[in-house]
């Protein structure tokens, strides 16, 4: 039986999916165990020079009404019209593979249930780690574990910026400009530098690991736009690197706490050495202790690779994969407030305000830089920052 595929969106990722499919068509078919071909490519734009212009359509009905199409790769981005299109495909029994993190973070519960109701699959490996396989390992390879925490560097743009600040002594604005010039950051970099992209990704991971839909609005999110070069340099002196860390952890009271924020990562932590546009995800389980997944988190072909991996999986599946799912959540009572967060903290304060008894510290340019010896709650750290007139305060990852 031949598998006919439709691709929704012919931008960076969509064109990458088509390119990589035809480049590796023979090996893809061998791994799927079936003949495969792309029948439709949906996009409102014209591509007169494309070698696949005969497959292009501007009409979604060409896809939804084509019974030969059984697998769809959604690469449009955004919630609408992607949600409407994907839901319609699933209702027709067409499995969907997507790279759209915003769609999965906002509507994943609905789409997973729709797939289940119609005997097909909604796969989204590419939505979190790009080329890094993390979704399938979480619900398959690590299924025997009680996973209590997942933490990682989930945004390559911010990691590149922080790496340039650390290695090349660049100010934030200069590092951002370079990231834009190299194509790592969008013209409007808000989603990356303010943490929204990483937030959507940790929502997906948290939903899968803990079984209930976690919405972005329930996640404490702080980006790197306020990280100063002085703090990056001070972190190095204090034996750490500054990284944007997305984390979700189950607390002793059973609630989960998802967060996205800059953190000091000690140099003896493996994530401290994850640099440039690379991402890393660290999974904590009772059977494995720790397992790390590392690689390029974004880019045309890396993301296309993950999408096509899911497309191959849809071709091999008979029925819905029930382990890759989570329940809808009527409220966020299962999510702890940020006030429950506790860590040691780094402070940058006027030198005259330096408290006594601080061990990990140094003074430079009129400021005292130090890390607290004891853990402080989020509320206590905020209160201390106000009392000491802190220019910055950042938690330490432990």
Q: Are 101 and 127 in contact (CB under 8 A)?
A: yes
In whole angstroms, how far apart are CA 88 and each of 58, 76, 93, 214, 314?
16, 15, 9, 23, 17
Question: Could you tell me the strand order of the sheet in which 289-296 lies?
Answer: 220-221, 256-266, 240-250, 147-153, 278-285, 289-296
Residue showing tokens 């109701």: 117
Closest CA to 244 of 266, 227, 258: 227
Hey, how many other C-beta atoms are within 10 angstroms of the C-beta on 57?
16
Integer Rg of the chain from CA: 23
Q: Can you tell me the distance from the alpha carbon of 27 to that of 175, in angstroms, rounded to the nearest whole number? A: 40
- The phi, psi pair for 154, rounded to 5°, reads -115, 10
Residue 37: what are its φ and ψ, rounded to 5°? -160, 155
* φ/ψ (deg, to 5) at 344: -75, 155
Question: Strands, E, within the chain: which ranges?
Answer: 3-8, 36-42, 56-57, 69-74, 95-98, 122-123, 147-153, 220-221, 240-250, 256-266, 278-285, 289-296, 342-343, 345-350, 360-364, 367-371, 376-377, 392-395
Closest by Cα among 386, 337, 393, 316 to 218? 337
Query: Is 30 assigned a catalytic role?
Result: no
- 4 near 18, Cβ under 8 Å? no
Q: Which residue has the tokens 């959507």?
A: 200
Q: Which residue among the candidates 101, 164, 201, 243 is catalytic per the annotation?
A: 201
Q: How many CB atoms lie within 10 A of CB 319?
A: 9
Active site residues: 201
């Amino acid at each position: 039986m031949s598998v006919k595929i439709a691709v929704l969106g012919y931008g960076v990722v969509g064109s990458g999916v088509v390119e990589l499919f035809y480049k590796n068509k023979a090996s893809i078919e061998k791994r799927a165990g079936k003949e495969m071909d792309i029948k439709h490519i949906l996009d409102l734009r014209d591509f007169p020079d494309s070698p696949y212009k005969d497959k292009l359509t501007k009409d979604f009905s060409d896809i939804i009404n084509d019974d030969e199409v059984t697998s769809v790769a959604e690469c449009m981005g955004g919630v609408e019209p992607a949600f409407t299109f994907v839901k319609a495909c699933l209702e027709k029994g067409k499995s969907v593979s997507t790279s759209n993190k915003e769609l999965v973070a906002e509507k994943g519960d609905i789409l997973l249930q729709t797939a289940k109701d119609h005997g097909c699959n909604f796969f989204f490996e590419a939505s979190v780690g790009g080329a890094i396989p993390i979704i399938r390992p979480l619900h398959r390879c690590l299924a025997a574990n009680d996973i209590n925490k997942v933490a990682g560097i989930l945004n390559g743009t911010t990691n590149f910026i922080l790496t340039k600040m650390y290695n090349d002594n660049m100010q934030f604005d200069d590092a951002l400009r370079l990231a834009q010039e190299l194509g790592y950051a969008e013209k409007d970099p808000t989603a990356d530098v303010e943490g929204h992209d990483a937030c959507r990704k940790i929502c997906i991971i948290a939903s899968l690991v803990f079984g209930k839909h976690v919405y972005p609005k329930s996640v404490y999110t702080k980006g790197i736009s306020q990280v100063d070069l002085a703090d990056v340099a001070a972190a190095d002196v204090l034996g750490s690197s500054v990284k944007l860390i997305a984390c979700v952890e189950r607390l002793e009271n059973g609630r989960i706490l998802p967060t996205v924020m800059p953190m000091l990562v000690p140099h003896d932590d493996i994530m401290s050495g994850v640099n440039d546009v690379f991402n890393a995800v660290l999974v904590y389980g009772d059977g494995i202790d720790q397992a790390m997944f590392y690689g390029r988190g974004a880019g045309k072909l890396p993301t296309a690779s993950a999408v096509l991996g899911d497309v191959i999986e849809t071709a091999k599946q008979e029925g819905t994969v029930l382990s890759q799912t989570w329940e809808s959540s009527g409220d966020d009572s299962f999510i702890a407030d940020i006030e429950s967060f506790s860590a040691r903290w780094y402070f940058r304060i006027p030198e005259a305000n330096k408290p006594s008894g601080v061990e990990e510290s140094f003074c430079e340019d009129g400021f005292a830089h130090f890390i607290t010896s004891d853990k402080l709650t989020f509320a206590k750290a905020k209160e201390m920052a106000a009392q000491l007139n802190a220019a910055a305060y950042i938690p330490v990852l432990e």
